[in-house]
Amino acid sequence: MEEAARSAVLLCSVFMSGSAPLLGGQLSEMCRLQAAVLRRSRTQEALDRDRRRRQYLRRRRAFLLSSIAGILSVIPTTRRPIWARRRIRGESFWATAESYDEDAWKAQFRVSRSTFDYLVKLIGPSIQRRRTNYRTPIEPRRRLAITLWWFARSGEYRSIADTFGVGIATVCIIVRQVTSAIVELLCRRFVSLPTGQQLDETIRGFADRCYPMCAGAIGSTHIPIAPPRDNPDHYVNARGWHSVILQGVVDHRLRFTDVYAGWPGSNSSASVLSSSDLYLKAEDRPDGYLFPREKSVLSGGVEIPVHLISDVSFPLRPWLMKGYSDEHQLSPEQRRFTFTLASARSVVDAAFMRLKGRWRCLLKKSDIDVSMMPKVVAACCVLHNICELQGDAFLPEWNVQTAPSGTCLIQPDVVPCQEETHGMAEVVRRTIAYNLLSILQH
């Protein structure tokens, strides 16, 4: 526009001027400017046409895509003819399993049908997968059945895949997903230290076993694993096989109230305890007690707190009592205390026996990654508690499976803890040992 104005001014000046020599130069300049204006105008028009063309193409493409999507939405979905291999044997097995009677069902899946249905109700929504146009997802009942089958046998993924009519990778994924769902959704609900009325019932339960002021028995056991790729020597225990350690607290009803698993098998029970949340919870409290101090009783001027009991591999603390070792001459009261404590502490060994007897994946080396083992162990403990709460009986023949044999590894021997004696804890232990009967009467 500016150049066009200049051209107009120049043209006016040509006609108003009377100078002939300047007329030729001014006309030449005017033509040059007018040509430049025309070129720029044509270039802008070409750019505008190209921009409008691109906008048109984009709109037409969007219209075509929306039209195709609308057409596809009204067309009935069909199964892809080649998507997954049909496994008739596995499908027929699951259909047959659904019609099992109670005894046959429990023999296969280690839980009663009512317990199985209860578990499906608890975690079914979280393990349900969305239906797609490609194929129907595996239903939650079948997913849970695959996982329980693996827990109960720890068989190879290939054999489980053939049994249930799914792929090998599918079995691996399902076991991981269902295990994670059990731990994330149910662990806090079914595995927790007793409080309130439940704590009072637990104390009375151990008092019936002739040991006072006890809220649970703590113990540890080794779970076999395949040699890991990273630092395999750290996982070799005193027996020479690879393992991770399960530390568990058990109440008088053989239910787990605290679970801590995953530490390499070369560690001691005291080392595992000192790294657990249970230890930190007790040691970080100002009074050094794990349970409410108002539950404590006085005996001979000594405060006896509610505590846990353990074997000699654990350290002695005011909140954790253990029996006297045989290294020194014991008095009759000390021997009676040690025997009574060991008798009451037997609940943890019984709980480990039931846990491994029901879920055989904890008895032999599995092909699952070591990073997943803590969740597998915790999930088995949750399922153990649910079975106990549901009154799902432990069958006697499962106990035979935990006996040492060619396939069941022998646990390492108990090694006494060499930690220095805690002064206050020793006073509490001595008071209980010499006033056992009077404390039981509180």
Last residue of some domain: 155, 189, 223?
189
Residue ranges making up the domain that contains 135: 88-189
- Are 237 and 203 found together in one domain? yes
Considering the domain architecture, whether residues 109 and 250 belong to the same structural domain is answered as: no
Q: With respect to residue 10, please indicate whether it lies within any of the assigned structural domains.
A: no
- Say if 331 falls within a structural domain: yes
Residues 144 and 206 in one domain: no
Considering the domain architecture, whether residues 317 and 343 belong to the same structural domain is answered as: yes
- For residue 422, CA distances in Å to 191, 263, 288 come to 29, 25, 12
Question: Residue 78: inside a domain, yes or no?
Answer: no
Specify if 24 maps to a domain: no
Contact 312, 295 (CB under 8 A): no
114 & 233 share domain: no
User: Of the candidates 147, 174, 189, which is a domain's last residue?
Assistant: 189
Does any domain span residue 326?
Answer: yes
Number of structural domains found in the chain: 2
Structural domain contains residue 233: yes
Q: Look at residue 268 and tell me if it is in a domain.
A: yes
Q: 238 and 370 in one domain?
A: yes
Q: What is the pLDDT of residue 402?
A: 47
Q: 286 and 421: one domain?
A: yes
Q: Which residues 6+ apart lie within 8 Å of 2 measured at CB?
A: none
Asked if 226 and 185 sit in the same domain, the reply is no
Pair 209, 354 in one domain: yes
Q: Which of 130, 160, 189 is the last residue of a domain?
A: 189
Please give the chain's pLDDT, 442 residues, in tens. Answer: 555 555 555 555 544 554 445 456 777 777 888 888 888 888 888 888 888 888 889 888 888 888 888 887 777 655 555 455 555 555 678 888 888 999 999 999 999 999 999 999 999 999 998 776 666 788 999 999 999 999 998 778 888 888 888 888 999 999 999 999 999 999 999 999 999 999 999 999 999 999 999 999 999 999 999 999 999 999 999 999 999 999 999 999 999 999 999 999 999 999 999 999 999 999 988 888 899 999 999 998 999 999 999 999 999 999 999 999 877 789 999 999 999 999 999 999 999 999 999 999 999 888 788 999 999 999 999 999 999 999 999 998 898 554 545 557 899 999 998 876 778 999 999 999 999 999 888 7
Structural domain includes residue 242 = yes
